[in-house]
Amino acid sequence: QKYEKSLEKTRKTFGMRFNEFLANFRTVDEEFFEDLEDTLIMSDVGADLAMTISQELRQEAKLANAKSQDALRQLIVEKIVDKFDEDKLPSELNVQAGLSVFLFVGVNGVGKTTTIGKLAARYQKEGKKVLLAAADTFRAGAIDQLVEWGKRANVPVVTKAAGSDPASVVFDAMQKAKAENVDILLIDTAGRLQNKDNLMKELEKIGKIIKRELPEAPHETILAVDATTGQNAIQQAKEFSQVTPITGIALTKLDGSAKGGIVLSIVQSLKIPVKLIGLGEQVDDLQDFDEEFFVRGLFK
Ligand code: GDP
């Protein structure tokens, strides 16, 4: 229910535009496909994907034979759902038996710390032993904020003074996690994209420390991006992918965004699965991402 409400903004714009497009439908001709493409682009689906979808639909006789708006709608929705399925990207977080280490990256303000806090509360509730690491030592505020979330979720946080070496925070956290049989370690990092070389070096160093302690970790490197920024979120995802391999995306602030269509664009252009979606500022405003449910929801 909450999920439905949170996506209202996206659905309103996405769905309305699409309904309008269908209402204008006369025949399935070249103009129809051009309008479909425009409609999808306006809904932040991204130009490439919009073109692919309309191109593939052009070649399907089913569409030309469709007699009603409903039949057309269904065929188009199926096509989009299929596009998602094509790459078989894993949408579930890679939780292992024993210690699972998730690294979080993303620029300031996108909702990285909030996502960690929500996830910590979720795992804690499930009875897992959770530990947080405040490896964004660049800003004192970031450390305080994570500590605050730790209190809220009743989960300990490994911290050092602002300005400390982030890798040393990660080292301490890995030691503690192993010594205390922690199930889930969530690591917050500083996302200064302005200085890509430094960021890359910092993340490499953190990665090395993690691997020295647990060779198969990190089990996830999650990039948080803000849905309200639309195509900018995709740009950030592209840039971060060049800095470090990203295994999943947390798309935040979908509740305040009319640009939910970028989910499709992100997955298609980057081949990185969206694994989490943020639907508000509260502790339980986090959902696993279900692409089929999401796509069908957009067209309701
Ligand atoms: P960080 O700098 O990336 O760690 O970002 P924060 O976690 O501090 O979040 C920045 C702001 O966005 C805060 O005011 C959060 O409450 C807010 N925020 C985070 N996630 C969401 C979300 O899913 N929905 C809404 N509406 N606000 C969010």
**199-218, pLDDT tens digit by residue?**
999 999 999 999 999 999 99
Ligand 1, atom 19, residue with closest C-alpha: 111
For residue 75, the one-letter residue type is: L
Tell how far the Cα of 83 is from the centroid of ligand 1, in angstroms: 30
Q: Is the peptide bond before 245 cis (omega within 30 degrees of 0)?
A: no
Cα dist from 159 to 107, 165, 217, whole Å: 20, 11, 20
ipTM for the assembly? 0.99
How many angstroms separate the alpha carbon of residue 281 from the centre of ligand 1?
6
Instruction: Give me the pLDDT at residue 189, please.
Output: 95
Hey, whose CA ends up nearest to atom 26 of ligand 1?
280
Torsion of CA 272, 275, 281, 285, to 10 degrees: 160
If one residue of 114, 236, 284 were mutated to test the ligand 1 pocket, choosing by the most ligand atoms within 8 A of its CB, it would be 114
Report the separation in Å between the CA atom of 242 and the middle of ligand 1, taken as the mean of its atom positions: 24
Amino acid symbol at 283: V
For residue 221, which amino acid is it?
Answer: T
Q: Any idea what the Cα angle at residue 46 is, between residues 42 and 50, rounded to 5°? A: 85
Is 107 within any annotated ligand binding site?
A: yes
Predicted local distance difference test score (pLDDT) of residue 179: 98
The Å distance, Cα 279 to ligand 1 centre, comes to: 10
Name the closest-CA residue to atom 16, ligand 1.
281
Q: Does 192 carry a binding-site annotation?
A: yes
Cα of 56 vs centre of ligand 1, distance in Å, is: 38
Ligand 1 pocket, Cβ-based, cut-off 6 angstroms: 106, 108-114, 145, 224, 252-253, 255-256, 278-281, 285
Ligand 1 atom with the smallest distance to the CA of 114 is 7
Ligand 1, closest atom to CA 107?
A: 3
Task: Please give the distance, rounded to the nearest whole angstrom, from the Cα atom of residue 110 to the centre of ligand 1.
Answer: 6
pLDDT of residue 100: 98
User: Is 253 within any annotated ligand binding site?
Assistant: yes
Please tell me whether 65 is known to bind a ligand. Answer: no
Q: Is the CB of residue 283 less than 8 Å from the CB of residue 153?
A: yes
Distance CA 108, CA 130 (A): 24
Please choose, from the candidates 48, 131, 112, the residue with its C-alpha nearest in 3D space to the C-alpha of residue 252: 112
Residue 38 annotated as lining a ligand binding site? no
> Would the annotation count 101 as a binding residue?
no
Residue 145 one-letter amino acid: Q
Per-residue pLDDT of the chain (300 residues; tens, 9 = 90+): 667 777 788 888 888 888 888 888 888 888 999 999 999 888 888 888 899 999 999 888 787 788 788 888 889 989 988 887 777 888 899 999 999 999 999 999 999 999 999 999 999 999 999 999 999 998 889 999 999 999 999 999 999 999 999 999 999 999 999 999 999 999 999 988 888 889 999 999 999 999 999 999 999 999 999 999 888 888 999 999 988 999 999 999 998 877 888 888 888 888 899 999 999 999 999 999 988 888 888 877
